[in-house]
């Protein structure tokens, strides 16, 4: 069950009741607007290009979709185990081919329309019939034989073959009465019709590109209303800018802090730090030959990166421990494969025979044996074309640590006869370049869920694009290995967890040795929040848990504004208005709560 929080009551009275307050600072705009919403403001580093939950692949889009729509199954805040969402219970048939879900009664969409099993039926049938709608769940719905809702509270899913994914149904259930008009053209629908209609605890009511996303709390939410009025994601181009905004009181929660910023905030009045385990990884991805499903190549990747020997040599010439020590200040673990240690059941640890350690001599040996001889300039050449190993390394311009990483990588790779040109691009352009195949080596990273199928599917042959337009973004590396694909199908059908884990680890071993990508690190999640204004954040998991980046809405649902009673029985509420701290003390007759400004873009 999700956490139901008590509704916070606001009241107003005459300002004269506060004549006893010393040095009270109130912005003039706040005085003019007594009934402004209480906002929890979260710093965001990514912009949004769509609010279509079927088309969201980036972290901010995924987060907003999870806040706006409910799913059949949620993930426990304690340990990521599946727990009831819209489905209150489920049953599996004896032959493992039919699953029956009981849908929660009394749930409504934000426009007042009841949510029933027929909305879930519509959602899954849409995913089964529209390629764009199943983009992030193709592995799942392609195994569905049929989805039916015999009544408003029963959903029946029949399978072509048994699968262990039926408790991983965490995709958004959309309202049929809104989305049926977009059948057959889901990919063209950006869902910018505000307010968005969903059943989640919040709904997007306003958005400005590269500025903010404003969501209004659903006061009739079935799991209990949030204890505040609005959740705002405010965009900042750099981590430093978001940190300054936290200190100034413009935002309440900042995640993705650099180690330096994290340490600099230690001891700051009113700010609490949180160092958590991460379900994300950071990596570099190779353009090992961008191509379509039918084998048509596109893009401008360097041909040498198709050779596993080159990729393996680069792996040996990458000192992950030094990157962590000097870039992460020790607050990370060395990367291995896609599933981080937070999901220990499926996390892969290489054997001594497979383990890659920093070894320049070994890297040079691999390239020597593969026939990449050095030229007079010290740069190696391809054996069959004499083309020099000169690669472009693309990093995110809004992630300063990647610029530092790039300089280290350039230096190490030079020692093995590889020349690197470092290029930076913003988040949108870098991802465009990736899916258009216009890169050699590029920084990447993904958030990983409790079930491994989705993240591992990024490397299957089936997610290669149909064309070279760059609009289909299901792959991460243009990797295709039939042996890997066979294991992927096996792990989806294996019901024994230990056996499934063994298959998943073998898949990661293949990725580790083939090296279409090098996972650099699992960096700790470094966060800070205004504990002088907010409390109650439920972290996920219970041990070393995070606030931002959860697999669910636990933190944002449980957060509540600071509210306490002083020794005399008067209420005390602490807020920030226009960046200035305001303490309001209520007399027995009543009190004033000056809320935050109405929208994020009105802040100075």
Which segment of 5-14, 63-72, 462-471 scores lowest on mean pLDDT?
A: 5-14
What average pLDDT score do residues 556-573 get?
A: 62
C-alpha 468/C-alpha 291 separation (Å) is: 7
C-alpha 402/C-alpha 425 separation (Å) is: 11
Q: Is 117's pLDDT higher than 80? A: yes
428-447 per-position pLDDT tens digit? 899 899 999 999 999 999 98
Which of 11-20, 189-198, 506-515 is predicted most confidently?
Answer: 506-515
Residue 31 has what pLDDT?
39
Residue 32 has what pLDDT?
45
| Segments in 478-567 forming alpha helices (H) | 482-493, 497-514, 554-558
Query: Which superfamily does CATH assign the domain made up of 15-47+209-277+529-602 to?
Result: Periplasmic binding protein-like II (3.40.190.10)
303-351 per-position pLDDT tens digit? 999 999 999 999 999 999 999 999 999 999 999 999 999 999 999 999 9
Residue 136 has what pLDDT?
57
C-alpha 134/C-alpha 255 separation (Å) is: 30
Residue 48 has what pLDDT?
84
CATH (residue range 69-188):
3.40.190.10
Residue 597 has what pLDDT?
27
* Residue 187 confidence class, pLDDT cut points 50, 70, 90: confident
Greater confidence, 569 or 290? Answer: 290
Residue 184 has what pLDDT?
82
C-alpha 92/C-alpha 582 separation (Å) is: 55
> Scanning the structure block, which residue is given the tokens 């200040």?
329
Residue 577 has what pLDDT?
36
Angstrom distances, CA of residue 225 to CA of 210, 460, 593: 29, 41, 20
Q: Is 598's pLDDT higher than 50? A: no
Report the topology of domain 280-523: Dipeptide-binding Protein; domain 3 (3.10.105)
What average pLDDT score do residues 562-579 get?
A: 42
What average pLDDT score do residues 43-69 get?
A: 88
Strand partners, 394: 423, 442
Q: CATH 3.10.105.10 in the chain, residues?
A: 280-523
Residue 316 has what pLDDT?
98
* Residue 424 confidence class, pLDDT cut points 50, 70, 90: very high
Residue 137 has what pLDDT?
62
Q: Is 14's pLDDT higher than 90? A: no
Q: CATH 3.40.190.10 in the chain, residues?
A: 15-47+209-277+529-602, 69-188
Other C-beta atoms lying within 10 Å of the C-beta of residue 604: 9
Residue 407 has what pLDDT?
98
212-261 per-position pLDDT tens digit? 999 999 999 999 999 999 999 999 988 889 999 999 999 999 999 999 99
First to last CA, the chain: 39
Q: Is 131's pLDDT higher than 60? A: yes
Residue 4 has what pLDDT?
36
Q: Is 29's pLDDT higher than 80? A: no
Q: Is 511's pLDDT higher than 80? A: yes
Residue 188 has what pLDDT?
87
Residue 10 has what pLDDT?
35
Residue 193 has what pLDDT?
87
C-alpha 78/C-alpha 543 separation (Å) is: 8
Residue 108 has what pLDDT?
97
What average pLDDT score do residues 169-174 get?
A: 95
Residue 34 has what pLDDT?
56
Greater confidence, 586 or 156? Answer: 156
Residue 46 has what pLDDT?
82
Residue 569 has what pLDDT?
38
Give all strands of the β-sheet with 144-151 in edge-to-edge order. 87-92, 98-103, 154-159, 144-151
Greater confidence, 444 or 28? Answer: 444
Residue 472 has what pLDDT?
85
Classify each residue of 70-104 as buried b or exposed e, where b means 16 or more C-beta atoms within 10 Å of its C-beta.
Answer: bbbbbbbbeebebbbbbbeebeeeeeeeebbbbbb
The two three-digit tokens of residue 337, written as one number: 């494969």
Per cent of the chain over pLDDT 90 is 75
Give the relative orientation of helices 308-316 and 497-514 as an angle to the nearest 10 degrees: 100
Q: Is 473's pLDDT higher than 80? A: yes
What average pLDDT score do residues 178-197 get?
A: 90
* Residue 135 confidence class, pLDDT cut points 50, 70, 90: low
Give the relative orientation of helices 400-414 and 320-327 as an angle to the nearest 10 degrees: 140
């Amino acid at each position: 069950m999700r956490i139901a929080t008590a509704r916070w009551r606001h009241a107003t009275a005459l300002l004269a009741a506060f004549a006893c307050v010393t040095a009270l600072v109130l912005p003039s705009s706040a005085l003019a607007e007594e009934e402004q919403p209480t906002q929890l403001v979260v710093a965001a580093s990514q912009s949004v290009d769509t609010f279509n939950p079927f088309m969201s692949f980036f972290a901010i889009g995924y987060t907003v979709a999870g806040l706006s729509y409910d799913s059949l199954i949620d993930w426990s805040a304690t340990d990521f185990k599946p727990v009831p969402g819209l489905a209150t219970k489920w049953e599996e048939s004896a032959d493992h081919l039919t699953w029956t879900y009981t849908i929660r009664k009394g749930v409504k969409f934000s426009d007042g329309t009841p949510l029933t099993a027929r909305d879930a039926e519509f959602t899954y049938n849409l995913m089964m019939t529209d390629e764009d709608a199943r983009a992030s769940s193709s592995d799942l719905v392609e195994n569905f034989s049929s989805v039916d809702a015999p009544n408003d509270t029963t959903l029946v899913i029949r399978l072509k073959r048994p699968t262990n994914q039926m408790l991983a149904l965490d995709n958004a259930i959309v309202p049929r009465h809104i989305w049926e008009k977009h059948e057959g053209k889901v990919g063209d629908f950006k869902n910018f019709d505000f307010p968005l209609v969903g059943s989640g605890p919040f709904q997007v009511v306003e958005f400005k590109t590269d500025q903010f996303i404003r969501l209004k709390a659903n006061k009739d939410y079935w799991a209990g209303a949030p204890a505040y009025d609005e959740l705002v994601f405010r965009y900042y181009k750099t981590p430093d800018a978001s940190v300054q905004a936290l200190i100034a009181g413009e935002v309440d929660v900042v995640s993705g802090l650099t180690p330096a910023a994290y340490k600099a905030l230690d001891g700051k009045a009113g700010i609490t730090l949180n160092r958590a385990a991460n379900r994300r990884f950071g990596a570099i991805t190779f353009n090992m030959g961008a191509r379509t499903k039918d084998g048509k190549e596109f893009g401008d990747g360097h041909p040498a990166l198709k050779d596993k020997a080159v990729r393996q040599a680069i792996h040996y010439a990458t000192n992950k421990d030094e990157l962590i020590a000097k870039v992460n200040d020790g607050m990370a673990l060395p990367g291995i494969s896609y599933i981080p240690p937070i999901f220990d059941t499926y996390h892969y640890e290489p054997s001594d025979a497979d383990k890659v350690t920093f070894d320049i001599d070994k890297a040079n040996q691999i390239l020597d044996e593969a026939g990449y001889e050095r030229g007079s300039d010290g740069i190696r050449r391809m054996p069959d074309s004499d083309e020099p190993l000169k690669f472009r390394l693309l990093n995110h311009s809004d992630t300063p640590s990647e610029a530092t990483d790039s300089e280290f990588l350039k230096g190490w790779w030079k020692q093995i006869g590889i020349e690197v040109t470092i290029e930076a691009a913003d988040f949108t352009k870098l991802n465009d370049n990736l899916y258009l195949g216009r890169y050699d080596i590029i920084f990447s990273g993904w958030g990983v869920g409790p079930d491994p199928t989705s993240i591992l599917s990024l490397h299957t042959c089936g997610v290669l694009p149909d064309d070279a337009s760059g609009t289909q973004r299901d792959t991460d590396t243009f990797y295709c290995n039939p042996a890997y694909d066979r294991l992927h199908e096996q792990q989806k059908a294996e019901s024994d967890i230990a056996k499934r884990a063994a298959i998943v680890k073998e898949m990661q071993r293949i990725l580790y040795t083939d090296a279409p990508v090098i996972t650099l690190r699992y960096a700790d999640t470094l966060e800070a929040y205004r504990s002088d204004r907010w409390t109650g954040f439920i972290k996920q998991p219970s041990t070393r848990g995070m606030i931002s980046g959860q697999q669910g809405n636990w933190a944002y649902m449980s957060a509540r504004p600071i509210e306490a009673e002083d020794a005399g029985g008067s209420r005390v509420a602490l807020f920030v208005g226009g960046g200035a701290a305001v303490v309001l003390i209520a007399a027995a007759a009543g009190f004033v709560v000056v809320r935050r400004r109405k929208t994020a873009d009105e802040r100075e």
